[in-house]
Amino acid sequence: MNTRNTGKENIKVVILAGSRDFGRCALASELPVALWPVMGEPVLKHLLRALAAQGVKRAVVCSNGDGELLESEIGELDGIEVAFLNEALPVGTAGCIRDGAAGDRNSLFVVMRAAMISPP
């Protein structure tokens, strides 16, 4: 029987930030989609604040090449602990989720894209 605690304090969100999308538009080749500005701030910052407002305490942002840029642009946020993972070698979506979980078997994992402003 699974006795895992599924309260909000036990949720860990894995956010897939991907990388830049060369060729779509000039902004896409300069910034990862997670950093595109919406109302003057990166879309990822809006998402993380919305998660914190809903009671989520932990999030991991996975990217493949822009982790340091994401971390410097997002900075510290109140109410949520954010870790940034940067793939040294491409591991794909499943590899990002595995790395974001980091062996944690007691949390409820929610996986979402970094390009959404507000979680469902």
Q: Cβ–Cβ contacts within 10 Å for residue 14, how many?
A: 22
Contact assessment for residue 61 and residue 114, using Cβ atoms and an 8 Å cutoff: yes
Tens of pLDDT, residue by residue over 70-116, are 898 998 899 999 999 888 777 888 888 888 888 788 888 899 998 88
Query: In the chain, what are the domain boundaries?
Result: 8-113
Which two structure tokens, joined as six digits, stand for 18? Answer: 């991907």
Residue 58 bridge partners (DSSP): 12, 81
Q: What is the pTM of this model?
A: 0.84
Q: What is the pLDDT of residues 28-80, one digit of tens each?
A: 667 888 888 899 999 999 999 999 999 999 999 998 878 888 898 998 899 99
- State which fold the 8-113 domain adopts: Spore Coat Polysaccharide Biosynthesis Protein SpsA; Chain A (3.90.550)
